[in-house]
A and B are shown apart, each in its own frame.
Chain A
Amino acid sequence: MTADDADGILVRVGQVDKEFKRGSEVVHVLGGLDLEIPNGEFLALMGPSGSGKSTLLNLIGGLDRPSEGSVEVGGQRVDQLSARKLATWRARHVGLVFQFYNLMPVLNAQKNVELPLLLTRLSRSERKKRASLALDIVGLSHRAGHYPRQLSGGEQQRTGIARAIVTDPTLLLCDEPTGDLDRKSGDEVLDLLQALNKEQGKTIIMVTHDNHAANRASRILYLNKGQLSIDPVD
């Protein structure tokens, strides 16, 4: 996936509505939302709980579908892909980083990082090499054989980031990546994301509550009542 748009826009969200049914009640989370993210941007999404930040992230990552509107990533209408194609698309083009790391407890760091590569046609040795490289980038080569329960929170999140970048996606989607970490570990993770953005040109969308984290981004958008604005919510 390349930003083949002439204007260098990687993500284009057009007039997106998203509703959830909670029992008999319909909740409108997003209403007519528009968003364009240029290639190579580090965008922070902020907003109160329940404002739809994660929903928006899920829509861009193809984990969920909009009720109305279009989601286009790298020229691909993500909302129109079949479930099967969407899975393949995610594997190839998107790296996901979660608040609670979501590592497989039964796999060690190396194998966790290697996981997305199982979906490729790479050889066993090539998979191993790439996983090691990704661990190296996040500075965890020495912890490759450790299981998640043997790693600190910061280390687990860095492993999560290594897993996200191992397939070399253009787009990294991070959902509160520092939300469960102390300040020091959080800073390390943010340093890492910034480096990935600057040095490797990854486009990053990061959902966060934390102003300190958001300030590392190149742009901050605030989501409130289903609408985006450049001003913080008061």
Chain B
Amino acid sequence: MKYLYLIFSSLRRKKLRTGLTILSIMVAFVLFGYLTAIRQAFVAGVEVAGADRLIVRHKVSLVQLLPQSYESRIEQIKGVENAAHATWFGGIYQEPRNFFAQMPMVPEEIFSMFPEYVISDEHQAEFLATRSGAIAGRGIVERFGWKVGDRIPIQATIWGKKDGGRTWEFDLVGIYDGAEKGTDTSQFFFRYDFFDETRAFGQGQVGWYTVKVSDPDRAAEIAAAIDAEFANSPQETKAEPEGAFVQGFANQIGNIGFIIMSIMTAVFFTILLVAGNTMAYTVRERISELAVLKALGFTDRGVLSLVLGESLSLTAVGGVIGLILAWLLVSMGDPTQGSFPVFYIPTRDLLTGVFLIAAMAFVAGIIPAIQAQRLQIADALRR
């Protein structure tokens, strides 16, 4: 601790240079934090996917519908606890860029299937009692400034109404919260019975099934049993664990993880050059001073630690400020104005950030530190 003063004094020597270096390191960590939040937006679904849930869809593609009658057949398969169907509504609220998912489901099934959606008993009861009712996640409710009791008009793109109209109106009767940070609170659920009797076509047809299994370890086996049940029928199915389904979907958008990793590598490499360069300067400029310290009795290792300590202070200050700024930036909202289901920096990535701070300090400081360590006092003092 007593050497801290020495370290900070050295950093104060060239305030401008120290400041600029800290700023550039800060920038790297702002980007790091921001990019991890973007990555998280794409992978959170996989992380929070229920290990005990399968998704069953039409084998040919997700947009092909399945009969509602499959539900009871699925529920009879051994190892299946419960099945719930959902259908993609794909409507537009006000304008196309206000994208969010709307799905008609059976109300009771929502709550039993997705324990991660936390909703009060009153809201649940209200939903069961209101045919045109809908419940929405906290995320979109805040995004559009809705409140319970609002009437929400949604333009159908696929599902016209029997009466020829295309505007569906729903009464917002409840709001659900996410049980975890990564839970998607950007969804909008309404009642399947209302949907089925109002839509112009497709009665008795649903989009996909979510299936809860009793034993997650047997998920693959149960998925195979479901697919076998409907093999050679006009509507064959493809059942897979929810995590795999979400991952597959994310993969279609692109290899986000890879792209972000590449950007981050470039960013860190760039900043490492800047920070490493500064540290190299700091040492070169002070060769005689370091020699004096050694002459006064500082050990080689002591001098090495001193230089590494300087490097660490520099990166720590820049890195921590950067992470905090990133956190602030991320809490201001996502760059797509709300299209991401979740947008936050996971704790795990914050820890990675802290690790990266240490790693960067080490890499930037180690060569100058070794130079300082190897310094021959007599030679250095002669200069």
**Direct A–B contact in the complex, CB atoms closer than 8 angstroms:** yes
Out of A54, A87, A92, A111, which one reaches B294, CB within 8 Å?
Answer: A87
Inter-chain contact A118/B299, CB cutoff 8 Å: no
Return chain A residues, CB-CB under 8 Å to B288: 102
With A63-B377, A105-B13, A106-B13 in contact, is A116–B296 under 8 Å at CB? yes
- Contact B9 A107, beta carbon cutoff 8 Å: yes
In the bound complex, CA of A14 to CA of B5 (Å): 42
Sample of 8 more A-B contacts, CB < 8 Å, known A87-B298, A119-B297:
A58-B381, A83-B300, A87-B300, A90-B295, A106-B9, A106-B10, A118-B3, A163-B296
Q: Which of B12, B13, B289, B300 contacts A84 (CB 8 A)?
A: B300
The docked-state distance in angstroms from the alpha carbon of A106 to that of B7 is 10
Distance in Å: Cβ of B110 to nearest Cβ of chain A: 64
State whether the Cβ of A64 lies closer than 8 Å to any Cβ in chain B. Answer: yes
Residues from chain B with Cβ under 8 Å of A88 in the complex: 297, 299
Which residues from chain A contact B5 at a C-beta distance below 8 Å?
Answer: 111
Contact across chains for B297 and A90 when beta carbons are under 8 A apart = yes
* Contact-residue bracket for chain B: 20 to 34
CB distance from B290 to the nearest CB of A (A): 10
Cβ–Cβ contact A64 & B296, under 8 A: no
B301 contacts chain A at the CB level, 8 A cutoff: yes
Contact flags (1/0) for A49-68 with B, using CB distance below 8 Å? 00000110010010110000
Distance of A133 Cα from B106 Cα, bound (Å)? 85
Report the bound CA distance from A115 to B12 in whole Å.
Answer: 17
CB pair A104 B295 closer than 8 Å: no
Interface status of A142 (Cβ within 8 A of chain B): no
Is the C-beta of B259 less than 8 angstroms from some C-beta in chain A? no
Contact residues in A for B293 (Cβ distance below 8 Å) = 115
Q: Give the interface of A toward B (CB within 8 A).
A: 54-55, 58, 61, 63-64, 83-84, 87-92, 94, 96, 98, 102, 104-107, 111, 115-116, 118-119, 124, 163
Nearest CB of chain A from residue B16's CB, rounded to whole Å: 14
From A58, A87, A91, A98, residue with most partner B Cβ within 10 Å: A87
Q: A84-B299, A87-B297, A87-B299 are in contact. Are A102 and B378 (CB under 8 A)?
A: no
Known: A104-B289, A107-B9, A118-B3. Is A91-B377 also a contact (CB below 8 A)?
Answer: no
Residues of B within 8 A of A111 (CB): 5, 9
Bound-state Cα–Cα, A116 to B3, Å: 11
What chain B residues lie within 8 Å of A55 (beta carbons)? 378
Q: Give the residues in chain B near A163, CB-CB below 8 Å.
A: 296
**In the complex, B6 has a CB within 8 A of chain A:** yes
Question: B292 near A: Cβ within 8 Å?
Answer: yes
Contacts of A116 in B (CB 8 A): 296-297
In the complex, what distance in Å separates the CA atom of A89 from the CA atom of B295?
A: 11
Separation of A64 and B301 alpha carbons in the complex (Å): 18
In the complex, residue of chain B having the shortest beta-carbon distance to the beta carbon of A173 = B295
The closest CB in chain B to the CB of A83 belongs to: B300
Bitwise interface map of B from 1 to 43 toward A, beta carbon under 8 Å scored 1, else 0 = 0110110011011000000000000000000000000000000
Q: Say how far A83's CB is from chain B's closest CB, in angstroms.
A: 6
B104: shortest Cβ distance to chain A, in Å?
70
Q: How far is the CA of A81 from the CA of B262 in the complex (A)?
A: 51
B381 A119 Cβ-Cβ under 8 A: no
7 A–B contacts from the bound complex (CB under 8 Å): A55-B378, A83-B300, A84-B301, A92-B297, A106-B9, A111-B9, A118-B6
Cβ 8 A contact of A91, one of B2, B6, B289, B296: B296
Cβ contact within 8 Å between B295 and A63: yes
The complex places the Cα of A175 from the Cα of B19 at a distance, in Å, of: 37
Contacts of A87 in B (CB 8 A): 294, 297-300, 302
